[in-house]
Amino acid sequence: MTDDESGLSDDTVGTHGGSESDRPDTNSESSDSNGRDGLGIVNGVHDRLPANVRSVLSGYGPIIIVVFLLVAAGGGYLTYTAVTAPATQPETVTAAEWTTETEFDHGTTVTTDTAVFASGEELQNRPLYFTRLSPELEGSYVVSHDGNVDPAIGVVSLQLVVQATDSVNGEEIVHWRETEQLGSEELSGVSAGSTVRVPFSVDTTELSLRIQDIEDDLGASPGTTEVLIVADTVLETEAEGERLADQREEQLVLELNNNINRIEQEDGSETIEVTGGTYSVEEQVDGQTVQEITETIQVPFEPSPFARYGGPLFVFVGLLGAAGFGLLYNMGAFAVSGGERQRLTFERTREDYDEWISRGQLPDSEPDRRIRLDTLEDLVNVAIDSNRRVIERLDPPRYAVWVDDIEYVFEPPEELQEAIESTDDETGTVAAAESDTIDEHATDAEANEPESVDRTDKSDSADTLQTDGDGQS
């Protein structure tokens, strides 16, 4: 540590802790040591941080301290919620669950031998059947339920519905309808996990003939003819003292495309001949539904690891950061001197107006008229207004613009030399090449200049150098 630093440390201790004559000798020596250590840390931080970083930290110092305090406050809140959290918390659980499911199971038996089907073969749950091979559709409506519930009761009713309908303005219009009861079954004491089947059977050939007879009687075939097997189901049970019910209406849709001929015999009787055709089956059911009975219970509550460990960590980091940064801030670790601020301003201005500045050699002779400007920005504004370029000389640093016979010049003060030298180091080889090229032009111009030259000629020469600088930019 230098003597200057030691002297500053003594002054600091004297200011904040009183004079040495007011303290015991033992404490005075310890205070001086602590002051020197603290000042050494401050100086170390100050020396290691570039001026531009210190400028930002100095400008936003209070905001940074507030951010650290907010982090500490957030950590305190997390810690408080973890410490004061109740031992238990309410949780909704499922006390009972009831599942109901329905479906249509259907199939036919082949009655005629063919190349692909043998007589007596069973065809199950197919979307399409052949009328000539298996005209009768047999099946059952299947009802099942499961869950931790009491035995169920209910009723299942199956009906065959044949109707002709139309859709007008989104509403279904029924032109005619005929219904037939296929089956009905009362359900009682059906335990969970059990399945109930209600059978049905329809002859598709007779259905086709019945539709023909109705249309013959009406003398018309309006709308679309539909054949439906409709299942109405009501199922009830109890669980946890509550009543549960499931009610649904589902259907199996048959689309008949049969080719049937009526042949009258001589004795007046009638023979039915099925020449071919098919009928398709489409199932329209709700499938599986689930009903739940819930209840609220108290369960042990454990704060999250983030709240338990993250909260204290945030408090520690926030308070330590606020105290440490605030101490360094108040002791001047981030202070920026007036010269450094001027240098930073100059560096930003030089970088902002780089496209208007060309490096070159400037004559040392005084022009007829010279106007000195206070800042580089003012000089660049003159260059922009007059559509000229700024010529930069590095050693010694000087910036100039010629407008007619007037030289506008800006010469940085001595404290800005470091900034100019650092700018020169960044440009490197490219800047050196540009400078050498401009030197060659300047040397050629001086060699061709007459021995007797007045001030006006020198001014013209300066304009020529400026033009050469333009060419290099």
- pLDDT per residue over 213-253, tens digit each? 998 899 998 999 999 999 999 999 999 889 999 999 999 99
Instruction: Please name the amino acid found at residue 414.
Output: E
**Contact call for residues 23 and 35 (beta carbons, < 8 A):** no
Position 451 confidence tier, pLDDT thresholds 50, 70, 90: very low
Is the pLDDT assigned to residue 396 strictly greater than 80? no
Q: Could you read off the pLDDT of 189-219 as tens digits, one per residue?
A: 999 999 999 999 999 999 999 998 998 899 9
Residues 4 and 23: their CA atoms lie apart, in Å, by 23
Q: Which two tokens stand for residue 429?
A: 């080889």
Give the torsion through C-alpha atoms of 171, 176, 180, 184, to 10 deg. 20
Bridge partners, residue 138, by sequence: 107, 201
**Contact call for residues 189 and 153 (beta carbons, < 8 A):** yes
260-269, 289-298, 428-437: segment of lowest average pLDDT: 428-437
Q: Could you read off the pLDDT of 352-395 as tens digits, one per residue?
A: 767 766 665 566 656 667 788 888 888 888 888 888 888 888 77
**Contact call for residues 127 and 137 (beta carbons, < 8 A):** no
Is the pLDDT assigned to residue 472 strictly greater than 70? no
3 state DSSP class of 347:
helix
Mean confidence (pLDDT) of the chain? 78
Burial code (b: 16+ CB inside 10 Å, e: under 16) for 57-81 equals bbeebeebbeebeebbeebbebbee
pLDDT at 118: 94
Residues 250 and 161: their CA atoms lie apart, in Å, by 12
Position 268 confidence tier, pLDDT thresholds 50, 70, 90: low
pLDDT at 457: 39
Average pLDDT over residues 166-185: 92
- Smallest CA-to-CA distance from 78 within 302, 314, 321 is with 314
- Smallest CA-to-CA distance from 391 within 410, 369, 370 is with 410
3 state DSSP class of 52:
helix
Instruction: For 378-429, give the DSSP string.
Output: HHHHHHHHTT--EEEETTTTEEEEEETTEEEEE---GGGHHHHHHHHHHHHH
pLDDT at 27: 43
Q: Could you read off the pLDDT of 106-117 as tens digits, one per residue?
A: 999 999 899 999
Is the pLDDT assigned to residue 75 strictly greater than 80? yes
Average pLDDT over residues 23-29: 41
Single pTM value for the model: 0.51
Position 455 confidence tier, pLDDT thresholds 50, 70, 90: very low
Pairing type for strands 122-124 and 88-109 reads antiparallel
Place of tokens 């689309």: 255
Residues in the chain: 473
pLDDT at 317: 92
- Smallest CA-to-CA distance from 376 within 344, 338, 350 is with 350
pLDDT at 415: 63
Average pLDDT over residues 441-445: 44
Average pLDDT over residues 281-306: 89
Position 36 confidence tier, pLDDT thresholds 50, 70, 90: low
Average pLDDT over residues 171-183: 93
pLDDT at 424: 52
Is the pLDDT assigned to residue 311 strictly greater than 70? yes
pLDDT at 367: 60
Is the pLDDT assigned to residue 450 strictly greater than 70? no
Is the pLDDT assigned to residue 283 strictly greater than 80? yes
pLDDT at 87: 84
95-99, 261-265, 331-335: segment of lowest average pLDDT: 261-265
Position 471 confidence tier, pLDDT thresholds 50, 70, 90: very low
Bridge partners, residue 244, by sequence: 237
Of 266 and 115, the structure prediction assigns the larger pLDDT to 115
Highest-confidence segment of 14-18, 381-385, 411-415: 381-385
Q: Provide the 8-state DSSP code for 355.
A: G
95-99, 229-233, 234-238, 347-351: segment of lowest average pLDDT: 347-351
Question: What distance, in Å, lies between the first and last C-alpha atoms of the chain?
Answer: 48
Residues 442 and 452: their CA atoms lie apart, in Å, by 18
Q: Which two tokens stand for residue 450?
A: 């007459």
